[in-house]
Chain A
Amino acid sequence: MYPELGQIALILALLLAVLLSVVPLAGALTGRDSLQAFARPLASGMFVFTGLAFAILTHAFIVDDFSVAYVANNSNSMLPWFYKFSAVWGGHEGSLLLWILMLTGWTLAVAVFSRKLPSTMVSQVLSVMGMVCVGFFLFIIVTSNPFDRLLPNVPTDGQDLNPLLQDIGLIIHPPMLYMGYVGFSVAFAFALAALINGRLDAAWARWSRPWTTIAWSFLTIGIALGSWWAYYELGWGGWWFWDPVENASLLPWLSGTALMHSLAVTEKRGVFKSWTVLLAIVTFALSLLGAFLVRSGVLTSVHAFASDPERGSFLLMLLGITVVGSLALYAFRAPVVHVRSRYGSLSREIFLLLNNVLLVTATLLVAIGTLYPLVLDYLDMGKLSIGEPFFNTTFSPLAIAAGLLLGTGIFSRWKKTDGGWLGRKLLWPLAVSLVASVAVIKMYGDFKPWAFAGVFTAIWVTVATLWDLWDKSSSRKGRLHGLKRQTRSYWGMVLGHLGVAMVMAGATVVSNYGIERDVRMVPGDSAMVGDYQILFKEIGDRRGANFTAQYGSFDVLLDGKKVSELHPEKRNYPVGMSVMTEADIDAGLFRDIFVAIGERISDEAWAIRVQYKPLVRWLWLGSLIMAIGGFLAIADKRYRIKARNEAADKARAGNLVTGKHAEASS
């Protein structure tokens, strides 16, 4: 009974979405307030019905209703309750429902937090969101109904959740990632609304900025969680594989980062407008591309659930309509924009433009590396794969260039920066960074050019960011007062850039100075990894809730003193007949020691993987700091006060141009 209600709720939500995509837009175009007034109630209704469907599916999981095909395929009565809960999005249909729940959630959020915006703008934005919702509701109802029943032959038990997905990282990774992916639809909706009514101005940029930033922050956390999960759960200590599915999440992140920065320029200086709109469209299209790649079955990976071609073509169609429709609108409407302000060839605008060029180039490279093999395969021109080295050789120089530019750009001014002044300004920070990077590299060992470049870039970004903070916070009333005077969006930028520096430092050091060894060990043996000695004490059996395991015991010793004790496992899940390696990690701020059990070689000997991973935590900590920066930035007062008063806006822009305090750029 309940599952059918869930299905009805979804269909009702679809009908509301259809109304939402037509009625308020018609109201906005004809100037009828009565029609525009429908926007908010429709958005709320859509969210309520989707939430109901989601609750019903969750209920089916909790009560083990195996007559629902999706539950039977992804759960089992022996599964602990929290995994039953997260199994709701452990497969294709449920994760799509989660995606839609978030999409309607974002729509509702726009409806709630846009009270101060002109009502035509709100109606148009919500209508565009409604159109996106229609696409996804049709997708789930037509191709991937999570409420399909297995009647009358109800299985007595489910097939279990893929053991890889039975993990805390996976409870939160997809929701975060989807919040990001889906969140970019708001920036997209704002961009389309601006194109429809021809209002591409600073006010528009200010409205869509916080939405972009918050989506970007969620996406950052989502990607970092995925990387963290791969590191400890896939069992072999890698943190980024340039797997097409990872790339699918990196693509909107890269173009989203470009979008955040170009939105900043559009808001502050009123330039780059058409470019910003284009980026908003591209970023959302890349989110859809990601969904298509992961869900269509063109890729095979952990994320590609049993998939069928019908879904692929449906998503491709959705992507095609979005891209063609929005680009056509762009082509007709964008050129209307007039640029009023000017900027010199050495100015913050130029630095941010370069930042955009680099980020877009990186997006293109990752896209080429990801799509090229797929296109060739589709055209039947042979099967090939593009390996990690491709991405490493092309991506690293771009990342380093972007970092060097970032540090320099921080000191630049809007409109015009004097070259000689900038040069003198950079001298000391450069010297400090150079000395610091030499010291860091010496500490880690051999000199490697790429390692040096990466470490230098990370330190340079840090030094420049802090130097600028020091300069800005000087005040006659004391340093503390100066620090307090900085806006939240400025602090957001500082944290964002420090986070980037941490990720760069982590990535560089762990890939250049990490040690990975596969060794044959019998209990009693020990192996060295870096300065650490790993002692294999014993291995025995252990029983878990829904698995049995071989349970190893290892001591980690440094200079003969015991640092920690690790218990990696090799688990056997009888329901799905699958084997899982659970690594154990002694985690630290500056290094991880990683031990995983491989296969049994002989009666007493085992293949053991031991790893020393310096600064690997910085990858995820840095990402978290970046995301916190994003959340802090949107808490800035100016997004809440007077969003409407255009005259005040202009006066404010005027103040900024005088350049007294050139504040946050991102």
Chain B
Amino acid sequence: MHPIRKKRLTIVLFLVAGLAIAVGLTTYALRQNINLFYDPTEIAAGNAPVDVRIRAGGMVEAGSVVRDTETLKVEFKVTDFSASVPVEYVGILPDLFAEGQGVVAMGRLNNEGVFVADQVLAKHDENYMPPEVADALEKSSKAQNKAADVDKAAETTAY
């Protein structure tokens, strides 16, 4: 083969091989690591898959945080003001975790309908609200045409 063509062929082969590896790795890794987001209404209605790693978010229901004094276990409820989901977590919660604040949790739903979280994220500062949570709140308040105070709560906490 002509040396220039041969060289071009090698380059093209390298590129194709690199691309193939990249595409293969990406699809493989993507399939395993996509975490879908569900809001409390969807979870309560049974629309979320059981024992699959998902994200869930909403506001921490006031008065729902129960802390075990002997271990690092914490239980709380996450709500979008139309439904709430019990969450269980073992570990240290973020600084800004508090009742009445927006959170996003990663974890799996068990057969009893409890969301077992392995990671809990809270907002970064007092003005921030996870966008999923803001959306979920907006959706539920629209659906129910709830009393003004809920709307107001959603408004003041969304950006």
Which residues does A use to contact B, with CB under 8 Å? 162, 164, 235-236, 300-302, 306, 342-345, 350, 353-354, 357-358, 361, 364-365, 368, 372, 382-387, 389-390, 393-394, 397, 518-520, 570, 576-581, 596, 598-599, 601-602, 605, 607, 609
Contact = CB atoms under 8 A, between A and B. Distances in A.
Given A301-B124, A361-B21, 15 more contacts: A306-B127, A345-B6, A365-B26, A383-B55, A384-B34, A385-B34, A385-B35, A393-B29, A394-B29, A518-B72, A576-B125, A577-B126, A598-B93, A601-B69, A607-B92
Closest 4 CB pairs of A and B: A598-B92, A383-B37, A390-B33, A602-B69
B18 A358 contact: yes
A386 B30 contact: yes
A300 B7 CA distance: 47
B72 A384 contact: no
Contacts of B30: 372, 386, 390
B10 interface: yes
Contact of A343 (B7, B55, B96, B127): B7
Contacts of A162: 125
14 contacts: A302-B124, A342-B3, A364-B22, A365-B25, A383-B37, A383-B55, A385-B37, A390-B33, A393-B28, A519-B72, A578-B95, A598-B92, A601-B68, A602-B67
B62 interface: no
Contacts of A520: 70-72
Contact of B124 (A164, A235, A344, A596): A164
B131 A389 contact: no
A397 B130 CA distance: 33
Contacts, number: 117
Given A235-B95, A520-B70, A576-B125, A389 B33 contact: yes
Given A383-B132, A578-B125, A609-B92, A345 B18 contact: no
B153 interface: no
Interface of B: 3-4, 6-7, 10-11, 14-15, 18-19, 21-22, 25-26, 28-30, 32-37, 55, 67-72, 90-93, 95-97, 106, 124-128, 130-132, 135, 159
A357 B128 CA distance: 39
A357 B13 CA distance: 11
A353 B14 contact: yes
Q: Is the interface of A mostly helix, strand, loop or mixed?
A: mixed
Contacts of A577: 126
Contacts of A385: 34-35, 37, 55
Nearest to A307: B159
Given A365-B25, A386-B33, A518-B72, A599 B93 contact: yes
A365 B28 contact: no
A588 B71 CA distance: 31
Nearest to A385: B35
Residue of A302, A383, A602, A605 most packed against chain B (CB within 10 A): A383
Contacts of A579: 95-96
Nearest to A373: B34
A191 to B, nearest CB: 22
Contacts of A236: 92
A580 B125 CA distance: 10
A580 B10 CA distance: 55
A386 B22 contact: no
Contacts of A342: 3-4, 7
Contacts of B25: 365, 393-394, 397
A387 B35 contact: yes
Contact of A345 (B10, B124, B127): B10
A145 B93 CA distance: 37
A576 B30 CA distance: 39
A361 B18 contact: yes
Nearest to B93: A599
B91 to A, nearest CB: 5
B37 A384 contact: yes
B60 to A, nearest CB: 13
A302 B121 CA distance: 13
A581 B95 contact: yes
Nearest to A347: B7
